[in-house]
Structure 1
């Protein structure tokens, strides 16, 4: 009997615009790598990299860097690639960022348009007691070897910040989901910040005040052209999971002493309250369910910090008192926050 296909089998291959590999061949060659071996084993043709709006299979893209690390003997080749990778090299998504009026707008536009650049991935902002985190991870369960991609991607994103804040800007902290590698000292040196490994996601921390910085390369006309192109790549009927991810990220960003309202999130997304509600309904989504999921995710994140009082966690999630948070947490996990933290 033929086995039934799994969910992973039914997923279409995730894609990434080939601009994300701009300069990779030159880096591999400079590190002594054989391009025929690297690209051949990854199933990618060097000519595929010539057109910045062509697509690469995301699995093969990640494999290309993992193979290059082994072939060249440079275990930190992704880290090196990301540190030198400038936003313009990222193609349309990079131009969407640097042509925005402020860093806040740049990150918001990247979050909105990221699905057009790279599929089956998460990109968004997280508010953690006044410190913001830019979080990124690949969601495609078929891509297991992703260390090099994570390290090069966070380097790329840091260079968007440096476009606005100057070349001396450094993140407050960097986190990776993969285990700590042997050469991890290079990570702290290159990022100029403490680096942690084995975390839930890949992320860089920065100050909220950074968001107000104006982008010196702001270009409204260029942004309108780039945005139109990227939007044309996203299906009009956005996948409900993708839309839910965007809304959930915005909710997490706005959570604080009170939970954000439907109207607040709608305004951030450029929609009226009525338009937002219709879009939620069309995608079979509930705002309360998304708010609950955002609180659940953030609660698990905050509970990792053993020094953060439970009362502070409750207030950070928009609960007016600890008892309300405890009841909600028990409904999510079947245990109290205190017990969850102990285990």
Structure 2
């Protein structure tokens, strides 16, 4: 049976165009996130399993203020990445979210402009995450954005901001008004995940009315996003989308689909990626929420016509043949 193999995640670290627009960059990162299930999108030597940002979301969900949410998110990301890269600073009537990448274990070497673009993307991600926690856009509270980039050049990622951008900074920093530190969420905060954040960012770049937005995005894509983020309970997804289970079923049926089919499709795709990455079938079954290996094997055979063990063995064999062919071609 012919199958499409995903590229080795390391390949993703090569030749990143530093002139990508925010829309192009975040579209690329959103695809990477879904394909390789690494929340660093294969840019770090310390990969993070899909769902790592859920931990950040859990930690900040009940934060008493924006300053508290900033502090908790910085601490949690430091824990996940294994270093003191993030910290919160107070300077007079300003509060800063500081991100220092000087010692961060990046695995690409495309030059300082690409590195700056990636870190400027991180600032957009963090700002959006905090805005989603607050239940409102925090840009009016933003006073400046600081980048280690020496020269602006083409607008690129910095064109995203409507506030002053300070270049040549010692670190990447989001500078908010000090009064923003005491802000509380406008509504009870929900646990956030990386896919939610990427979707919110991408929603800001929609064109004509009727194009997908965060509120009016194509329903099937929104359900798939929730499933890819590890949320597989129909009632929880319906609630997250602001509708009843009956409404969700009815609207999916109008598209000729069912929640069960979308869930199976997502589990199938995730199972193949994990097996191709060398995860044992027992581990994959646990990661995907199956009660035991037998139930996972039955489901996988329905999806693919083969067992997880055989699929994994074929994947290893194909990878060996590919590596041998690649080694021969370089001699």
TM-score under structure 1 length normalisation: 0.39
TM-score under structure 2 length normalisation: 0.40
